[in-house]
Chains A and B, each alone.
Chain A
Amino acid sequence: MAKLIKNQQIIDDAWQLLADEADTDPATVTVPAGHWLVPFAVWQAQPALAARGDVAPVLKGTDDPAELAGQLDAVPLVAVDFPRFSDGRGYSTATLLRSRYGYGGELRAIGDVLRDQFNYLSRCGFDALQPPLGKYTDAQLEAALASLKDFTDPYQASVTVREPLFRRHARSAA
């Protein structure tokens, strides 16, 4: 079973990922029983999925989070896919979901999610981080949790630290 870091704890995770078949009509894709993360196109094409409670959308870099804005109360979680860890679009997607559209539920980074990006990912609002299956041992994941605290007091505002340093602390003129 896949591991998930959620709220800074390592837990087992029951959700499965439905493959994104580019050339299939999203309206005709069958989503089996169980907990499924499905492409946003499938989620959009099949409004009935929202009622199930065990199906959640996966946003790609090209998906516009604005289109999910009206349904954020209906999703059990939102996943954002990182096809490569160096593709940084998901950081903006997460920031928008949290700070513009007010999403408060689980926001999960999936795909090429590596421990050296955990810090920035969590500051952009991901409360669930899912590295590729088998990528890290439990001990490594344990060690990686520490990286969430790499920087004590960041300069700029982000999802988790709502104000920039100059508003959080009275800084002396040094």
Chain B
Amino acid sequence: MYRYDDYDQQLVDERVAQFTDQTRRYFAGELTEEEFLPLRLQNGIYIQRHAPMLRLAIPYGNLRSDQVRMYGHIARTYDRGYGHFTTRHNMQFNWCKLEKMPEILAKLATVQLHAIQTSGNCIRNTSTDPFAGVAEDERIDPRPWCELIRQWSTFHPEFAYLPRKFKIAVNGAEEDRAVIRCHDIGLELVKNEAGETGFRIFVGGGLGRTPIIGEEITDFVAWPHLLTYCEAILRVYNRFGRRDNKFKARIKIIVKALGIEEFRRRVEDEWAHLKDGPSTLTQQELDRVAACFVDPDYKTLPHDDLGYRQKLSENKPFAAWVKRNVRGHKRPGYASVVLSLKKTGVPPGDVTDAQLDLIADLADRYSFGEVRVTHEQNVVLADVERSELFALWEQARAGGLATPNIGLLTDMICCPGGDFCSLANAKSIPIAEAVQRRFDDLDYLHDIGELELNISGCMNACGHHHVGHIGILGVDKNGEEWYQITIGGRQGNLTSLGKVIGRSFAAADVPDVIETLIDTYVAHRHEGERFVDTVHRIGADPFKQAVYGDGTPAQRKVANG
């Protein structure tokens, strides 16, 4: 992991001092509500239904165990004993008091945690692959680049009052696990023919009320020019992005309006002036940062571990967990483990103070004291010896962190929705729970196979419903909560937006509709074919037919696959 030097620490400490004074002036009446708004937002504080919400940055998803323990402490001391992992490498607390925020931020700063630019119209936390550095299909480790972007974007004086929020994601693997094409800037690490490292860059992706897949602005920018190129994009956006309408202010709108050719031309013109300027990265700086992301002290282990094999054959629940929640690793004898935060009845992504402490302990004991968080709102221990998987599983299970459902229907992405969020059209957490309860049979769930179900409580799309294989969107009809359903969305290399299947449903009907969709898939699937691939092969019609065919909201389940 990146290790702060004195300069990094000083900046975070100075930020706490700055915000402490701003909060004081706000309470003293020297700052109006409107003036305080962007200041608190850029320090992670929203005012929501119940209380201010505090959103903390987890830079590119990496955490140390002591930082996770600090989350536990904050949850216990200032919140109601839990926190929430979001889709973009953030931790959110829902019940902290505004007066306490400076104190909380000061405590967080002692372990290099902060809420800098986690909200507001600025460059947000950079996100990436949770399996960075250990994935079998990795080409280039994205983490050093994410850290370089973090430093460049933190307190960038020119880009703190953009037309709208700005999100960057980086992918360095064959398979994109960072949803780069749904980001304002998506960076794909590649090598050119000469073997030099650089970036293929996408721009103008984003979901929200106008979902758009990012377009390629360049197929290669050599690595020293990463920051100047990004700066050129940001400057064009800052100058020409729309500011008259908040809903048309994201970069995707101007990219669409100008067309990618004209947008590219403006960026390249701007870049011609910035290229080779002082912000050009140096080998020395890259080496310094990259040195923080070298492999930990791996042991030389055999490929196979007999004890582990034996447990696998004897213990069915363990084997089911390994099948879903354990992934391959580039080093023989090691594996990456996904701790599931998708236990039925618990809001997706929620974690208690005791679980946070347990995660920290597991990380210390089994995974070099490091933790990653995923876009799907789970937690990863990246470097676990296979021979220790059984012991880890037993402890994780006791702590409610071992639901064997990673990548399955119940491993859903879900926003806080109407229970917490003041922008919501409808609740989302109870829908998640109702669907989880309907599909509580593990064998059935495993038989259905990989399926991404994403839920958002309104068209802001925090739950990424557009790119879910099944997407559920809360809509408001005459003050009532209804749910619109899409199918066929995908993230990753083949990112595509789902299609609405038809008119929306009342909450009580949603589990039936999902079940009908699944039954239709089961009836049509080829051997080994995933739900989303069946949808793309046979089209949406058979699914629509099944759901709306005879005029009733949904037909009864026919087969159990």
Q: Which residues of A contact B (CB under 8 A)?
A: 61, 85-89, 91-93, 95, 100, 114, 116-117, 119-121, 123-124, 140, 147, 150-158, 162-167, 169, 171-174
Contacts and interface: CB of A to CB of B under 8 A. Distances in A.
B42 to A, nearest CB: 10
Contacts of A123: 157
Contacts of B235: 92, 95
Given A124-B158, A147-B18, A151-B155, A156 B35 contact: no
A89 B235 CA distance: 9
B291 A173 contact: yes
Contacts, number: 115
Interface of A is mostly: loop
Contact of A89 (B10, B31, B238): B238
B7 A158 contact: no
B555 interface: no
B239 interface: yes
23 contacts: A85-B161, A88-B158, A88-B160, A88-B161, A88-B163, A91-B157, A91-B160, A92-B238, A116-B39, A117-B161, A124-B158, A140-B30, A150-B14, A151-B15, A154-B11, A155-B7, A155-B154, A156-B155, A156-B156, A156-B157, A156-B279, A166-B284, A171-B285
B257 to A, nearest CB: 16
Interface string B267-294: 0000001000111011011001001100
Interface of B: 3-5, 7, 10-11, 14-15, 17-18, 22, 30-31, 35, 38-39, 121, 151-163, 227, 235, 238-239, 243, 273, 277-279, 281-282, 284-285, 288, 291-292
Contact of A155 (B22, B35, B152, B159): B152
Nearest to A112: B35
A164 B279 contact: yes
Residue of A86, A87, A123 contacting most chain B CB atoms (<10 Å): A86
Contacts of A162: 278
A45 to B, nearest CB: 23
Nearest to B284: A166
Contact of A91 (B10, B38, B158): B158
Contacts of B154: 155-156
B238 A155 contact: no
A155 B282 CA distance: 14
A140 B159 CA distance: 26
A153 B11 contact: yes
Nearest to B241: A89
Contact of B278 (A124, A140, A147, A163): A163
B73 to A, nearest CB: 25
Contact of A87 (B243, B281, B284, B291): B243
A113 B336 CA distance: 51
Given A116-B31, A155-B155, A163-B278, 13 more contacts: A61-B243, A88-B160, A91-B159, A100-B273, A114-B35, A116-B35, A155-B11, A155-B154, A166-B285, A167-B282, A169-B7, A173-B291, A174-B4
